[in-house]
Structures are given as C-alpha cells and as structure tokens.
Structure 1
Amino acid sequence: MAGACESERPGKPTHAFDLALLEFLVCRLSKKPLRYEASTNELINDELGIAYPIIDGIPNMIPQAARMMAHQNKKQEDMEQH
C-alpha cells in the first residue's frame, strides 16, 4: 500500500494534459485553434484574449470558466503598432 501513496504526492500533477488533444480542440466561442501555455496550465485563445483552465489534465472548455487576459492583448496590440 505504501507504493500507491507515493504516486499521489502533493504538489505533483497527477494528470498531465495530452498535447495531442490540441489537434482536435478549438475555442467554443471563436471555433479557432488554441495553444497550450505550460506555465499557467491553460489553453489560450490569443485572438479573444481568454484562457481555459486545465484541471487534472482535463480542459474546462466552458466559456464562463475562461479567464480574460485583457492586459496581454493590450501588450500585443502595442507591439503590432510599433
């Protein structure tokens, strides 16, 4: 039984996101492809500036669960104008 507890250490993700899913997943709002951001463990729609969380390896694609990323869009717009 000690071996079973070892695999469930706190701080270690128990389920990693399968990058192969990016081939099939699209944003529910724009229907465009998403990119995976490992540092935040989210699927990002750069066009709309939203991030879908990934929980236990499962993307939460409900639009209401998405995080707005307005500050990043503003930075990108500023860079494109210069």
Structure 2
Amino acid sequence: MGHRPSCRSCRHCIPPQGATLGRCQLRQLPIHPDLVGDLWCHHWTARPPRLPVVTPGGASAPVQPNQQLSLTAMLAAG
C-alpha cells in the first residue's frame, strides 16, 4: 500500500485516542476517528520518522538486550 497524505500522517494532527476525537492543531478542528485516514488539506506536512534511540556513543540502544544462546553446555551435558 502506498503512502498517501492524510490527517493520520500529518504533523499538525493529534490522533484520536479511544472515544475522544482527534484534533487538527493548525486549523483548530475536531477530526472524527473514522475519517482520520481519508481527510487531508493543503496544509498537510509529513510527520518526522520514528527513529531508534541512539546512545551518546553513537550506538543504537536496543529495547531488549541482544543475547546469543549458548548450546555448548546443553550438548555437553547430554
């Protein structure tokens, strides 16, 4: 599916949460959750990408530690 402009991908839009309506901060309009994927206007501006967190050393910080499983102990016992 291709990327197409809509309120869902606009940086000015606060997406709806639960039963509350979304909101266009630029135009000060409420946006119904059923229409957020279909509406857009000429003020549409792409949201910035969600990038992984980077530590001060420059390496990316994994959400969960990356561990390699050691099978040697299990194979030696068997």
TM-score (norm 2): 0.25
User: Higher helix proportion, which one?
Assistant: 1
Of structures 1 and 2, the one scoring higher in RCO (CA 8 A, sep 6+) is 2
